[in-house]
Amino acid sequence: MKKFIQARWQIFSQTPFGCLLRLFIARMFHGGGEPGAEELDLGIGVIVIMLAMPGILVSLLMFEKYGSLIRFLRGNPIFDPYTATMPDEYFFLVLSLVVTGAAALWRWDALFLDRRDYTNLVPLPLSLRAIFFANLAAILALAALFTIVVNAASLLFFPMAVVGSQNSFAVWIRFTLGHAVAVFTASAFSFFAVFALAGLLMAVLPAALFRRVSHAARFIVAIGLLALLASSFTVPYPLTQLSVPLAHKIAALPPVSFLGLARTIWLKGADPFAATMSRAAISAVALAILIALVAYALSFRRSFIRIPEMADAGPLPRFRHSVSPLAPLHKAIFRAAPQRACYHFVARTLLRSDGHLQILLGFAALGLVLSAEALSSAPNPRSLVTTQTPSAEFLSIPFTLAYCVILGIRFAFGMPVDLRANWIFRYWLDPNQQDARAIARRVLLLFSLPWLAPAAFFSILFFWGWTAALLHTAILIACTVVLIELLLIRFRKIPFTCSYPSFQSHSALIFAAYLFGFLFFTDYLPQMEHWSMLNPWQTIVFAPLLALTLLAVRQYRKQMLDMDKQLIFEEPRASTF
């Protein structure tokens, strides 16, 4: 049977449609973006592991939570799996929606054909219908892959952890079936909802406007996905109380509807509210698939045929001014000509390159959702602006936004835009000078503080007066400067001109350091600031803390070898033994 399938696949893959299908599937994984841009080629195996990892990690934690020994030690050896697991089932549904939706957003541009595909395919003896159905089949294959990979681990381990110790095989079958139907339909809904949005925008908007609007659309969708992820900490537990009036208030959330699918199968349709939610979930999935297919059919011919007539446009509009209004500021900040030239290159790349702008918007969306979560987690949200001094939750908002935006830009610095064009920097810049760190420092400052510091100042001024506003703004600026210095402690390359950094053994430690930095910067510093504002003279405690940090950074850089200070354009590869 295996040889028969391989033989049939070999014959099919050699047909024109089979070759097109393989081509379109490959371009979805290996990039279909701007010609000439450097793509981060992860490969199918790495992508599959990345998508499956969240479900694997969360599923393994369920064995400790629902193990029979753990339940016995907690005093509840007998429990109702269909009710006790509702919070975790909700979380798996949210995880399925978020991971699949994020993957679809990541491959947003690869879903539709571009100028490179037009140039390669039009001269071939292929009909437009064959190209259309081959790309559609590739999209459906991508949706199936995302749906299976994201949920495979939870489909195997979660039922095993919950009902594996039960004697009834029918309970295990029913629980697994309900979980599988719920998470698979949730993943399908998430993928096709993103696909439908992209297709509708492409069908109704001109090509140049679509490219610019699509970034705003992806940003809004990312915020929605992150908000759903944040809801997994607050929404599921009221559902365990089986309060129908309370459940109706949150029934608009997609995970609640898909949770109704699982409970309908678990309880054999005995829950009327779950049955209503099941019908809503099935209708939502069917509508998303229908809109996606219709929008794709309407936009394909219009967009593909008109590709030669479309001029390449950046994601943001270009300002056609002979003299920039910020030119005096740039000359004051960047006194040397190489620094000004490199800054303009970095700033324009960050705002005009699709990949780099997506990274920035993704981190910005994360910052907005975390800020909203901090406000909603306050003991009494109504008293946030009625106290005599700003609360720690209110003070943490600009710190959270600053950390996420700065970290996002710093992460984008390592993604090259086109390595074939970095020869001009190799030829022009002196590798022994420290221009790289100065350029990166000023870019991070100019992309964060000019909008964040005024917003923080006026928000505090409106509620608590001049003294609190000045102190808060000064502390925010000082802490942001120190954060940037820490992030650039070993930085020695012009942003976007160096090869991709290789994965090293200490990469996990770096990730843990970023998490610890986020906790310290967005939690402990606002709490210290809140304590200091009770007596303005107590803010003096920030001076030695920040000064010692800057002094330690300076001493560390002095101890670095000269070879570790030189400008680089190729990341050193990890040694192998």
Per-residue pLDDT at 576 = 38
Q: Please, are residues 450 and 330 in contact by the beta-carbon 8 Å criterion?
A: no
Distances (CA, A) of 308 to 119, 210, 330: 9, 16, 38
**Predicted local distance difference test score (pLDDT) of residue 36:** 43
pTM: predicted TM-score of the whole model, two decimal places: 0.71
Task: Return the pLDDT at 285.
Answer: 92
C-alpha dihedral (34, 35, 38, 40), degrees to nearest 10: 60
Q: Is the dihedral of CA 379, 385, 389, 395 positive or negative?
A: positive
Q: Ramachandran region of residue 433, left (φ > 0), alpha (ψ -120 to 50) or beta?
A: beta
Q: What is the pLDDT of residue 321?
A: 44
Residue 403's pLDDT is 93
Burial 306-323 (b: 16+ CB within 10 A, else e): ebeebeebbbeeeeeeee
pLDDT at position 174: 87
Q: In Å, what is the CA distance from 16 to each residue of 12, 25, 29, 72, 138?
A: 9, 14, 20, 61, 14
Cβ-based neighbour number of residue 70 at 10 Å: 13
Residue 501 token pair: 């950094």
Quick: pLDDT tens for 91-106. Answer: 888 888 888 888 888 7
pLDDT recorded at residue 287: 93
Token pair of 576, please?
Answer: 């192998």
Note the pLDDT of residue 577: 33
Going by the DSSP 8-state scheme, the letter that residue 164 receives in this structure is T
- Confidence at residue 286, expressed as pLDDT on a 0 to 100 scale: 93
First to last CA, the chain: 42
pLDDT in tens, 152-180: 888 888 888 887 666 677 888 888 899 89
Q: Quick one: what percent of the chain has pLDDT higher than 90?
A: 10
What residue segments make up the domains of the chain, in order of their start?
A: 2-32+52-308, 331-564
pLDDT in tens, 103-121: 888 777 777 777 777 777 7
Tokens 């959702």, located at residue:
369
Give the residues of the chain that fall short of pLDDT 70: 1-2, 29-47, 50, 64-65, 67-80, 164-167, 233, 236-252, 305-335, 376-386, 418-421, 434, 501-508, 572-577
At 467 the pLDDT is: 85
